[in-house]
Structure 1
Amino acid sequence: MSEPPRRRRDPEARRTEIIAATAELILELGVSAVTHRLIAARAGVPLGATTHYFATLDDLRSQALHHLVAELDARVDGIRSALEQRGATPQVLTQLIVQALADARALEADRAVVTAAVDDPQLRAMARRWSERMTGFLIPAYGVERATAAAVFIDGVLWHARIHDETLNASLIENALAGILGTEPTTTSD
């Protein structure tokens, strides 16, 4: 009778699984509630694996937050692409915002990273970069001041959704963006 083949350990795959599990827990529980024990259970690895692959819990949390940053960067790239293809009008911006508001995972990832960025200068620079990129997408059409004001408004809409039971309606968002950007809205308020 032959022995079953040994499963080869893939340290990089295990490390990646631990980071992904940590990121999911951060989304569910918040950064400060994540522990080695919770991470190991979620990743399906022995408790010692979390300390084997990461020097400290803070290091592991940081890697997980950077994992979330990469996800958010990809979403910002999608926004850039959509604005290039469809134009940076208040109507298109509103459609993109409404889509973002419907993506609970993206909202949680944004909240987790921005909240952690308050105390982490490296994350703060990354979070600030998203707002700066949004401003940059709008500057060619609207100038620096209006583009900056629109980016701040968009950030506010996303945070508003995190603390209220109902999101702002699309008409309100579009009319506000039209006012900020100095254009005519295509819809009227409800």
Structure 2
Amino acid sequence: MTAASTPKGERRRATLIEAAAQLLIEGGFDAVRHRAVAERAGLPLASTTYYFDSLEDLIMAAVEHGGRVELDRGRAQLAKLSTEHRDVDALVELVLDQMLGVDARFEVLLLRYERFVTTGRRPYLQPLMRSMQGEFHELLTEIFTRSGFPIDRKRLQQLIALVDGAIVNALIEVDPDPRAVARAMLHDALMRPGAAGRRE
């Protein structure tokens, strides 16, 4: 058994991951550095290279941690969701809760979209991001289905792209309200004739 696999080692590794995840939210990918992570975790600088093979390894663990927290929250919401016909307004709020979080901070939204852009520049993140995106799409598909709005993969991807674009544009406004912009955009898309599950 290596020191990293002992209970103490696992706790230290988890502490470092949590510290890196917090730095990601606060300052983006550039904020995650060995020294900054160690200081935030209250551990020696050498611990970051002891428990992680590289800075990339640490960043990937932090990204996965953040993504898993979001997916776990989404699955908890889904577990409480009954199967019933919902109106468009209720469905929109459920979808936005998944995409943006409930009362998400501005920094959390920025990190969500920074992860997507950064993945293009950091190929080592691509397999992880594709895997988590697949799980996220499954969650959204189930929410649509349970709400009486069955949706196929192509239409789901179109709606996600629409919302993502609206949010990114809203982030640069003087007084941004990304959720309000995304709410209006998604509502209009779902009300169009032929929209997913729309009852004419």
TM-score by length of 2: 0.70
For 2:161 and 2:87, locate their aligned partners in 1 and report how far apart those are by CA, in whole Å: 16
Partner of 1:131: 137
Q: Percent identity?
A: 25
Mapped contact 1:101–1:107 kept (Cα < 8 A): no
Q: CA RMSD, aligned part only?
A: 3.1
The corresponding residue for 2:109 is 107
Q: For residues 86 and 157 of structure 2, what CA distance do their matches in structure 1 show? A: 14
Q: What number of residue pairs does the alignment pair up?
A: 176
What CA deviation, in whole Å up to 9, does each residue of 1:123-161 have, x standing for no partner? 331343123542454367334254443333343444445
- Secondary structure of 1:46's counterpart equals coil
The residue that corresponds to 1:167 in the other structure is 178
Residue in structure 2 matching 1:152, options 161, 173, 176: 161
User: What per-residue deviation string (whole Å, max 9, x for no partner) do you get for residues 44-77 of structure 1?
Assistant: 1111111111111111111111111111211331
Give the residue type in structure 1 aligned to 2:162.
F
Q: Distance in 1 between matches of 2:11 and 2:31?
A: 24
- The equivalent of 1:142 in structure 2 is 150
Q: 1:49 to 1:71 in 2, by over 3 A?
A: same
Unaligned runs of 5+ in 1: 1-8, 185-190
Q: Is the 8 A contact 1:135 1:151 kept in 2?
A: no
- In the other structure, the counterpart of 2:190 is 177
Q: Give the 4+ runs in structure 1 shifted more than 6 A.
A: none
Contact 1:72–1:106 (8 Å) recurs in 2: no
1:62-141 matches, cutoff 5 A: 62-81=60-79, 83-85=81-83, 87=85, 89-96=87-94, 97=96, 100=101, 102-104=103-105, 106-118=108-120, 119=122, 120-129=125-134, 130-138=136-144, 141=149
Provide the C-alpha distance between the structure 1 equivalents of 2:41 and 2:58, rounded to a whole number of angstroms.
Answer: 13
String of CA shifts for 1:29-58, please: whole Å, max 9, x gaps. 111331111111111111111111111111
Q: Which residue of structure 2 lines up, in the alignment, with residue 37 of structure 1?
A: 35
**Cα pair distance change 1:94/1:47, threshold 3 Å:** same
Greater Cα radius of gyration, structure 1 or 2: 1
Mind listing any 5+ residue stretches in structure 2 that lack a counterpart? 1-6
Please report how far the alpha carbon of residue 88 of structure 1 lies from its aligned counterpart in structure 2 after TM superposition.
5.3
Please, what TM-score do these two structures have when normalized by structure 1? 0.73
SS in 2 for 1:94: helix
Instruction: Give the Å deviation of 1:22.
Output: 0.4
